[in-house]
Amino acid sequence: MILDAPHFNCQTATMKDSDLYSNPVSVNEAVEQLNNASVVALPTETVYGLAGLANSDDAVFKIFETKGRPRFNPLIVHCANLQIARSIAQFDALAEQVADAFWPGPLTLVLLKTANAELSDLVTAGLDSVAIRLPKHPIAREILSQLSSPVAAPSANPSGKLSPTTALHVIDGFDGRVPVVDGGHCDAGIESTILAIIDGQITMLRPGTITKKMVENAVGQPVGDPQDEKIVAPGMLKSHYAPNASVRLAATSLKSGEALLAFGPVAESLQTDGAVTLNLSVAGDLAEAAKNLFQFLRQLDAQNPTAIAVMPIPNEGIGIAINDRLERAAADRTS
Return the beta strands (E) in 70-206 as ranges: 76-78, 107-112, 129-133, 151-152, 193-198, 201-206
DSSP state of 269: G
Predicted local distance difference test score (pLDDT) of residue 7: 41
Confidence of residue 18 (pLDDT cuts 50, 70, 90): very low
- Domains of the chain, CATH where assigned: 27-224 (3.90.870.10), 247-330 (3.40.50.11030)
Tell me whether residue 199 is exposed, middle or buried, using C-beta atoms within 10 angstroms of its C-beta: 0 to 12, 13 to 18, 19 or more: exposed
- CB proximity list for 283: less than 8 A, separation 6 or greater: 264
pLDDT of residue 15: 38
Distance (Å, rounded) from C-alpha 273 to C-alpha 257? 11
pLDDT at res. 12? 37
Per-residue pLDDT tens over the stretch 279-329: 999 999 999 999 999 999 999 999 999 999 999 999 999 999 999 999 989
321: left (phi over 0), alpha (psi -120 to 50) or beta: alpha
Q: How many residues can be counted in the chain?
A: 335
Between CA 310 and CA 261 the distance in angstroms is 5
pLDDT band at 229 (very low <50, low <70, confident <90, very high): low
Task: Judge whether residue 152 has pLDDT over 90.
Answer: yes
